[in-house]
Structure 1
Amino acid sequence: MLEIRNLTKGYAEDRKVLENLSYTLNVGEYVAIMGESGVGKSTLLNLIAGLDSPDSGEIRINGIAISSMQDDAATQLRREQFGFIFQAFHVLPHLTLAQNIALPLLLNGVTTDCVDQMLEQVGLFGRGHHFPRQLSGGELQRVAIARALIHRPKLVLADEPTGNLDPDTAHEILQLMRKEIKANGAIGIIVTHSHVAAATADRVLNLTKDGLHPAQSEHQP
Structure 2
Amino acid sequence: MHITNTTSAINADIPALECRGLRKSYGHGRVVLHHLDFTLAAGEYVAIMGDSGVGKSTLLNLIAGLDNVNGGAILIDGVAMSSLDDDAATRLRRQKLGFIFQAFHVLPHLTVQQNVALPLLLNDEPQARALELLAAVGLDGRGNDFPRQLSGGEMQRVAIARALVHRPTLILADEPTGNLDPDTAHEVLALLRQEIKANGASAIMVTHSAAAAASADRILLMTADGLHPLPAQS
TM-score by length of 1: 0.92
Question: Does the 8 A contact of 2:103 with 2:179 survive in 1?
Answer: no
Structure 1 counterpart of 2:152, which letter? G
Unpaired runs of 5+ in structure 2? 1-14
Work out which of the residue numbers 113, 129, 151 in structure 2 matches 1:136: 151
SS class of match (2:188): helix
Residue equivalent to 2:3: none
For 2:140 and 2:196, the matched residues in 1 are separated by 22
For 2:167 and 2:78, the matched residues in 1 are separated by 21
Question: Does the 8 A contact of 2:156 with 2:188 survive in 1?
Answer: no
Structure 2 counterpart of 1:26, which letter? A
4+ residue runs over 3 A deviation:
none
Work out which of the residue numbers 64, 70, 85 in structure 2 matches 1:49: 64
Question: Does the 8 A contact of 1:96 with 1:130 survive in 2?
Answer: yes
Unpaired runs of 5+ in structure 1? none
Work out which of the residue numbers 14, 35, 39 in structure 1 matches 2:29: 14
Question: Does the 8 A contact of 1:27 with 1:187 survive in 2?
Answer: yes
Residue equivalent to 2:137: 122
Structure 2 counterpart of 1:25, which letter? L
* Segment of structure 1 superposing worse, 42-51 or 8-17: 8-17
Measured after TM superposition, the shift of residue 13 of structure 1 is 4.0
Measured after TM superposition, the shift of residue 120 of structure 1 is 2.9
Question: Does the 8 A contact of 1:122 with 1:173 survive in 2?
Answer: no
- 1:87 is aligned to 2:96: no
Question: Does the 8 A contact of 2:153 with 2:185 survive in 1?
Answer: no
Residue equivalent to 2:174: 159
Q: Work out the percentage of aligned pairs sharing the same amino acid.
A: 67
C-alpha root-mean-square deviation of aligned residues, in Å?
A: 1.7
* Segment of structure 1 superposing worse, 43-52 or 5-14: 5-14
Residue equivalent to 2:49: 34
SS class of match (1:170): helix
TM-score by length of 2: 0.87
For 1:68 and 1:192, the matched residues in 2 are separated by 31
* Segment of structure 1 superposing worse, 157-166 or 33-42: 157-166
For 2:224 and 2:188, the matched residues in 1 are separated by 31
Measured after TM superposition, the shift of residue 146 of structure 1 is 1.2
Work out which of the residue numbers 12, 20, 23 in structure 2 matches 1:5: 20
For 1:175 and 1:5, the matched residues in 2 are separated by 31
SS class of match (1:161): coil
Residue equivalent to 2:9: none
- 1:70 is aligned to 2:82: no
For 1:79 and 1:113, the matched residues in 2 are separated by 18
